[in-house]
């Protein structure tokens, strides 16, 4: 599967944000975990046609992460990838819960924290794009990748 890997600077910002969210929930009885790795999955027909990573990377003109949202048992950032004059919408998963959040107080605390975040919207200007391969049932690795800097 094709994935986008944020530059370490942006990745650290996302990790810090996840830690802030975790601090909100550590007071509740919720069971949750941070999603690892923080890769943006690109399973879209546009990308299956081309196999050359450099060609794919060169056609990406913009990557934008919107303010996080919550749906079901997941906290995620909507991601818009502009590729070859098309907009591709996908998600970057940040946190997952063991069950759907139904407690209104927990949901309200989470939504307040998400709304207060100052790092979003985030533009990824430097990133890696590569192919993710499953090493074992619970681990993944990047088989090959290229760096891209959007000017």
**Band (41; pLDDT cuts 50, 70, 90):** very high
83: closest CA among 38, 134, 144, 127? 127
Q: What is the pLDDT of residue 68?
A: 87
Q: Per residue in 102-112, pLDDT tens?
A: 666 766 777 77
Tell me the per-residue pLDDT of 110-127, one tens digit each, with 9 for 90 and over.
Answer: 777 777 778 899 999 999
Q: What's the pLDDT band for 63 if we cut at 50, 70, 90?
A: very high
Tell me the pTM: 0.86
Torsion angle, CA of 16/21/26/30, rounded to 10 degrees? -140
Residue 143 has pLDDT above 70, yes or no: yes
CA–CA distance from 57 to each of 32, 41, 60 (Å)?
34, 14, 5
Query: Residue 62 pairs with which residues in a beta bridge?
Result: 82
Return the percentage of the chain with pLDDT > 70, whole number. 87
Instruction: Note the pLDDT of residue 121.
Output: 92
Question: Which positions ≥6 away from 40 have C-beta within 8 Å?
Answer: 3, 4, 5, 6, 63, 79, 81, 90, 92
Residue (of 67, 73, 71) closest to 30 by Cα position:
73
């Amino acid at each position: 599967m094709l994935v986008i890997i944020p530059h370490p600077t942006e990745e650290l910002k996302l990790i810090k944000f996840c830690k802030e969210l975790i601090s909100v929930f550590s007071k509740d009885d919720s069971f949750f975990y941070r999603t690892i790795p923080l890769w943006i999955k690109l399973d879209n027909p546009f990308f299956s046609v081309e196999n050359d990573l450099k060609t794919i990377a060169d056609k990406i003109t913009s990557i934008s992460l919107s303010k996080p949202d919550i749906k079901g048992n997941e906290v995620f950032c909507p991601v818009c990838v502009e590729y070859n004059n098309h907009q591709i919408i996908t998600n970057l998963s940040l946190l997952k819960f063991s069950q759907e959040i139904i407690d209104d107080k927990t949901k309200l605390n989470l939504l307040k924290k998400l709304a207060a975040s100052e790092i979003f919207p985030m533009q990824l200007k430097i990133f890696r794009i590569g192919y993710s391969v499953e090493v074992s049932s619970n681990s993944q690795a990047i088989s090959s990748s290229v760096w891209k800097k959007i000017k």
